[in-house]
Amino acid sequence: MRILNPLIAVLALVAVALMAAQVPGGQGLIGVVLPYLAFAIFLGGFAHRVKTWAKSPVPFRIPTTCGQANSLPWIKQNKLDCPSTKAGVIGRMLLEVFLFRSLFRNTRAEMHDGPKLVYGSSKSLWLFGLLFHYTFLVIVLRHLRLFMDPIPAFVGALEFGDGFMQIGVPVLYMTDAIFVGAITFLFLRRVVLPNIRYISLPADYFPLFLILGIAITGILMRYVLRVDIVSIKQLTHGLATFSPHVVGEIGSIFFVHVFLVCALMIYFPFSKLMHAGGVFMSPTRNMMNNSRMVRHINPWNDPNIKPHSYEHYEDEFREFMKEAGLPVDKE
Amino acid sequence: MYGKGRIIPALIIFIGLMTAPMWYGSGDASKLPNPEKPKGYTECVEDTQYMRTSHMKVLNDWRDDILREGGARVATTANGTEYVRSLQNGCMKCHNNREKFCGECHKYASVNPYCWDCHLQPKEAM
């Protein structure tokens, strides 16, 4: 059920889009109104989520410390895994965002006869996660050809590099194949590994199916069904310049693709996909571990509550302590 | 809100990047490619709309058919005009200006077929 329901939801979206593309006015709705709405919800929702996170105070240092902290001079600090300077945090963050460094440390726990618990390194999630995100990025950037005119040179360069293998006509983009392979891996991982299946929720499967649906409709559109790119660019370029209209004969598959993309944009701010913004906001990653150098004061401490030193405490309770046989500093 | 000094500029940059096509000289959406119609011919090898979406498939099918299956080099259009199934001697015989025909659309859609690495284009456009 946890797998089936999200699958049905995505198939329902496809069916709705297919039907809407047939009725008069439906193409305008999916091609013009929905993209603006979805984009606005995406940007607004994204900013809103970040704003709510920013409202949570993080008065104390809670970075995950995966290495030796800054200590005595002859003890070598692990500057990236337990940064105590801004530069260290920036380095850690860059590696995290661009290379998914914490996933690289992913481990796998296995039970062996004995019984013995064994931990092993598990790099496949890191590898396929990285492939997934980078191919997604290239694919999104390649789409800029539909929204800009003149088209920036780097888009052509990406297309050239991506189609370098010159397989078929129109050339097969490597990213398309890797992207689908990586999503399939990310899905199978959740189905095949019993412990991962146990913790997987519809909210994990839904974005995978949705993104897979987007990829499949895009690939069908380019290599199999083929659509009139000139008419499509007229629409999409119109969206970017605020003068969109649906012209020519655009296949229904295009509207299914756009509908799913809009669904993704709308879903994004309310889902786990917000880790895109969240990674920058996570205190366990973006704080320096300098609690031993700087005193961090809780900003909402009640100023009327004065510090209560041990001396005062003992003065207050000396008699009781003596009675209870506790040692006291001053007689 | 905490960390305003960093978060608000970051959000502005993010939104700026996401909306880049809207403000970065995206040109005029009504400026469309206008592939030059071939003179002296009235129909293409297939239906015009099909050619718009699938001319690369036509080319690929011809290539595979001729070079691998030994298919015919000559065929006729729906109305009986004879043409050569060839990139150089077929398409480019009717569409004899690469820049003004193929190039119009391809520039617009950022397509750069590698066919011309080997195949020649009609002389007048070279």
Spell out the residues 6+ positions from residue A90 whose beta carbon is closer than 8 angstroms to its own.
none
| Per-residue pLDDT reduced to its tens digit, B86-123 | 999 899 989 988 889 999 999 999 999 999 999 988 77
What angle do the packed helices A124-142 and A153-162 form, to 10 degrees?
A: 130
Q: What is the DSSP letter of B35?
A: P
Mutation for B interface: A160, A171, A229, A279, most B CBs within 10 A:
A229
Sorted by where each begins, the domain ranges of chain B are 57-125
Nearest CA to B102 among B85, B119, B84?
A: B119
> In chain A, at which residue ranges do the beta strands (DSSP E only) sit?
107-112, 116-121
Amino acid A169: pLDDT: 87
Q: How far apart are CA B51 and CA A323, in angstroms?
A: 100
Task: Give one DSSP letter per residue of A235-302, joined into a string.
Answer: HHHHHHTT-----S---HHHHHHHHHHHHHHHHGGGSGGGHHHHHHH-HHHHS---TTTSPPPPTT--
Give the distance from residue A219's alpha carbon to the nearest chain B alpha carbon, in angstroms. Answer: 14
Amino acid A136: pLDDT: 98
**B109:A237 CB<8 A:** no
Q: Which residues from B are below 8 Å from A when comparing CB atoms?
A: 1-4, 7, 10-11, 14-15, 18-19, 21-22, 24-33, 49, 52-54, 56-57, 59-60, 105, 108-114
Nearest CA to B91 among B125, A243, A273?
A: B125
CA atoms within 13 A on the CB side of A145: 22
- Is the pLDDT at A4 greater than 50? The verdict is yes
- Is the pLDDT at A273 greater than 70? The verdict is yes
Contacts of residue A57 in chain B, CB cutoff 8 Å? 2
Instruction: Copy the structure tokens of residue A157.
Output: 């360069």
Q: Average pLDDT over chain B, rounded to whole?
A: 89
* Nearest by CB: A145 against B7, B19, B110: B110
Q: How many CB atoms lie within 10 A of CB A86?
A: 10
| Per-residue pLDDT reduced to its tens digit, A198-235 | 999 999 999 999 999 999 999 999 999 999 999 999 99
- Is the pLDDT at A77 greater than 50? The verdict is yes
Q: Average pLDDT over chain A, rounded to whole?
A: 93
Confidence tier at B124 by pLDDT (50, 70, 90):
low
Residue-range domains of chain A with CATH: 4-300 (1.20.950.20)
